[in-house]
Amino acid sequence: MLADALQRYWGFDTFRPLQEPAMRAVLEGRDSVVVMPTGGGKSLCFQAPAMCLPGLAVVVSPLISLMKDQVDALKSCGIPAEFSNSSLSMSERQRVAEAVRNERVKLLYVSPERLVQERTIEYLKSQKVSLFAIDEAHCVSEWGHDFRPEYRELSILRSNFPHVGIHAYTATATDRVRKDIVKSLDLREAEVLVGSFDRPNLVYKVERRRSGLGQVLEVLGRHKGESGIIYCTTRKDVESLHGALLGEGIKSLPYHAGMLDEDRHRNQEAFIEERVDVIVATVAFGMGIDKSNVRFVMHWGMPKSLENYQQESGRGGRDGLEAECWLFHSGQELMRWKGSLEELPAGSVREAAFQSLQAITNFCHGTVCRHKVLVNYFDQELPEDSAVSCGACDVCLGQLDLMPDALIVGQKIGSCVYRLNQQFGADYTSQVLKGSKGERILQNQHDQLSTYGLLKDEAQRTIRDWIEQLAGQGFLQKFGEYNQLKLTDTGWQMLRGQATPRLLKPAEKSKSKREAAVSVDSWDGVDRDLFELLRKLRREKAVAMSVPAYIVFTDATLRDLARRRPTTLDAMRHVRGVGEKKLADLGAEFITVIAEYCREKNVAADVTPLSSVATSIGTTATGGKTISALSAARLFREGKTIEQVALEMNRAVSTVTGYLSDFIQNEGLSDPAPWVPAETARRVEAVAREVGLTLLRPISDRLEGQVPYDQIRIVVDCLRVRQNLGDFPTP
């Protein structure tokens, strides 16, 4: 029944992780708390059961803009939904009430303040209510990042509707918030379902912010024509970055709490309706934005907590397709956040805030997989197959510029901390290492220390960064009122040469060797020109229907259309995200455009992709293959053998050989040395000179099966590279 509804209204043929148990809890009328990361598909958890149950589902949603979007999206799938809030006129409200009375509504969205009014409660009591869904349920908790007092009053639902299931949905991860939700809403034996917080389709990259616009422009350049959000930490930064982008001829719009409501609203609409690609904003922007096809989220400055970072970066890639999350940080923000936290009243809230600030600082200076750090922070582990390498962060992609002599640098810093009797903080310690003639240092006679000036050729800022990196990796620990530094056990091991830290090269010396954005399988087989054409059509339809573009079709659907290129309604039915209503409303027009395009460009139509591409969150998510190939490439670059890589990645040798083959071609390697013994390579080459490089079989035959196929393949790959260079005869 659920699966039918999923297919019929939404055109989806599988459940996302946890969706099925979450829906079952709703059907059974059991209270539930469902925690899923942004984009995990929470809405469907109550929307699909609402279509299977008799009566009216009541959905509590905190923001008016969100409500309208969700209701529009539902209507576009043929689901009778309405909303009721203060933005409606009297007559509109009456129309909605009447529709509810006549049982013509399956889902009703209301704001919490309206729902808890006595009138509303009494009215709903006279109706058949199938379920209550509380969206953004973390708003009930003071520990959440977005406490809303009106959410507290939702506790009256339980006593007024003893026989109706109440279901809470949130993306916020902490256990404390979860418990708070159960308590505040007075849930009974709630089914608590917590999904993985990992967002495998987000590619995290962290860099120190350099002066100028270079870093921003590089990211924008890779996402031309795509939607993205740039977060700044202050209004002033928003204004100046927005201005600077204008100067570069880049269209963006600003958004912050200091602007007039109507301006803000207009800019937000322009972004949602894709009249502008980039929005430059403070954290004020985001809640209530349901836009699913945000392809990059950039932080131009460090946010104030790891929770914030998770939330804000999480606005990318909600459709399950890849999105890049760039974090550019500088020391300035740390100082600023510290300053503002110091103004909080002493107590556990303030303490927690400082801890979160430390967590994001460590994240910035970290050299451990970003996905791992994030999920560990929320007390989870990465799924097994990405534990070695997630393949979707700068660390795992091998894009960090590491110091070759990190151990020695680490030891210099560690011994300085020790010489200073573990009594001083990072700033002072870095000054001593730099060899500063500061008054305090001279007074303390620390210019006499053997470690004074040990790193005098480095910028003090660099030394400070290294100290943060050592702290982040557990070699040093900060303690006491002034964040004095001391050596940990691991720190002592480092001094003895038994443990090696990973330190980043100074920003100014590091040549940016970033690879192109991870090209993920989800573009496999997609005809880009057709995609652009369909995007245009989507925009036209969106304007005509006055809904945001992604409500017409998501990016995922558009790509699937441009991949399968259906020219009949029947073929279009197989495209992900095309349900019956959309097929009826939009099918004819889309297939006409597709058919015309295919005819004109002589492109094959009605294609069935060989392997259906995995793009859904939680499964192979980012499309395992290319991502794995990238991780493998990193290991090959380190000179690892096929067996080692297979072991580390937990993949079959034959699979890894395939990756190696790609790696050799991509990197243009002409020497199979690390992977094939020299003597074997010579034998294969000699035979290949005679029989050519087209097929492996004749080579293997001539060698009488003495050389394994995999090795022949690698040698031949290298020879093909040489052939292209004119260094090997072409038959």
Cβ proximity to ligand ADP, 557 vs 657, nearer residue: 557
- In whole angstroms, how close is the CB of 382 to ligand ADP at the nearest point? 20
DSSP per position, 533-581: HHHHHHHHHHHHHTS-HHHH--HHHHHHHHHH---SHHHHTTSTT--HH
If binding is defined by CB under 5 A, does position 390 make contact with Zn ion?
Answer: yes
Cβ neighbours of residue 714 under 8 Å, at least 6 residues apart?
657, 660, 661, 664, 672, 675, 676
Which tokens in the block code for residue 70? 């969700």
Closest by CA to 449, choosing from 474, 469, 423, is: 423
Site string for ligand ADP, 290-319 (x = CB under 6 A): --x-------------------------xx
Q: Which does 369 bind (CB under 5 to 8 A by kind): ligand ADP, Zn ion, none?
A: Zn ion
Kindly identify the residues of this chain, within the stretch 313-352, that bind ligand ADP according to CB under 6 A.
Answer: 318-320
Query: Least distance from C-beta 594 to Zn ion, angstroms?
Result: 38
Q: Under the criterion CB under 6 A, does residue 15 sit at the interface with ligand ADP?
A: yes
658-687 residues in contact with Zn ion (CB under 5 A) are: none
CB of 123 to ligand ADP, least distance (A): 27
User: According to CB under 6 A, which one of 84, 170, 201, 616 is a site residue for ligand ADP?
Assistant: 616
- Considering only residues 26 through 55, tell me which ones interact with ligand ADP, judged by CB under 6 A: 36, 38-44
Residue selected from 5, 16, 74, 547 as contacting ligand ADP according to rule CB under 6 A = 16
User: Should residue 253 be labelled a site residue for Zn ion when binding is judged by CB under 5 A?
Assistant: no
- Minimum CB separation from ligand ADP for residue 15, in Å? 5
Q: Which residues 6+ apart lie within 8 Å of 238 measured at CB?
A: 232, 254, 255, 256, 280, 281, 282
Residue 16 binds which of ligand ADP, Zn ion, none (CB < 5-8 A, kind-dependent): ligand ADP
Please tell me the distance from the alpha carbon of residue 471 to that of residue 475, in angstroms, as a whole number. Answer: 6
Among ligand ADP, Zn ion, none, what does residue 390 contact (CB within 5–8 Å per kind)?
A: Zn ion
Using CB atoms, what's the residue nearest to ligand ADP?
A: 41
Query: 319 contacts which partner out of ligand ADP, Zn ion, none, CB within 5 to 8 A by kind?
Result: ligand ADP
- Decide: 319 and 556 in contact? Cβ < 8 Å: yes
Encoding tokens for residue 293?
């096809």
Nearer residue to Zn ion within complex by CB, 194 or 388: 388
CB of 294 to ligand ADP, least distance (A): 12
Q: Whole-angstrom Cα distance, residue 307 to residue 322?
A: 21
DSSP-derived letter for residue 227 is E
- Do 273 and 549 meet the contact criterion of CB atoms below 8 Å apart? yes
Distance CA 394, CA 634 (A): 11
Question: Containing H/E element for 327?
Answer: strand 323-329
d(CA 112, CA 60): 6
Member of 396, 633, 642, 721 binding Zn ion (CB under 5 A): 396
Interface segment toward Zn ion; rule CB under 5 A; list 321-329, 367-375, 463-471, 707-715? 367-375
Answer positive or negative: Cα dihedral of 618, 623, 624, 629: negative
Give the per-residue contact string, 539-558, with ligand ADP (x = CB under 6 A; - = no). ---------------x----
Q: How far is the CB of 631 from Zn ion (least distance, A)?
A: 9
- Rounded CA gap, 560 and 577, in Å? 9
Size of the site for Zn ion (CB under 5 A): 5
Q: Are 108 and 84 in contact (CB under 8 A)?
A: yes
Q: Which residue's CB is nearer to Zn ion, number 627 or number 714?
A: 627
Closer to Zn ion by CB, 433 or 627: give it: 627
Look at residue 310 and give the partner it binds from Zn ion, ligand ADP, none, a contact being a CB closer than 5 to 8 Å depending on partner kind.
none
**What H or E segment, with its residue span, contains residue 477?**
strand 476-479
| List 36, 206, 393, 645, residue binding Zn ion (CB under 5 A) | 393
Among the residues of 343-447, which ranges form H helices? 348-365, 370-377, 406-419, 426-434, 439-443
Question: 168 vs 396, which CB is nearer to Zn ion?
Answer: 396
Q: Are 403 and 382 in contact (CB under 8 A)?
A: no
- 131: helix, strand or coil: strand
**How far is residue 642 CA from its own chain's centroid?**
31
Shortest reach from residue 613's CB to Zn ion, in Å: 22
138 binds ligand ADP (CB under 6 A): no
Q: Within 10 Å of residue 122's Cβ, how many Cβ atoms?
A: 10
CB of 128 to ligand ADP, least distance (A): 25
Only one of the segments 208-216, 361-369, 514-522, 652-660 lies at the binding site for Zn ion (rule: CB under 5 A); that segment is 361-369
Q: Which is nearer to ligand ADP, 15 or 285 (CB)?
A: 15
Q: Contacting Zn ion (CB under 5 A), which of 369, 373, 487, 627?
A: 369
Q: How many residues does the chain have?
A: 731
Instruction: Check: CB of residue 527 under 8 Å from CB of residue 603.
Output: yes
Nearest CB to Zn ion, comparing residues 267 and 622: 622
Most distant CA pair in the chain, distance = 90
Tokens of residue 4, six digits: 């039918």
Give the nearest distance from C-beta 1 to ligand ADP in angstroms: 15
Choose from Zn ion, ligand ADP, none: what does 441 bind? Cβ within 5-8 Å by kind. none
Number of Cβ within 10 Å of residue 64's Cβ equals 16
Which of Zn ion, ligand ADP, none binds 393 (CB below 5-8 Å, type-dependent)? Answer: Zn ion
Asked if 670 interacts with ligand ADP (CB under 6 A), we say no
What residues make contact with ligand ADP under the rule CB under 6 A? Answer: 12, 14-16, 19, 36, 38-44, 292, 318-320, 554, 616
What residues make contact with Zn ion under the rule CB under 5 A? Answer: 369, 371, 390, 393, 396
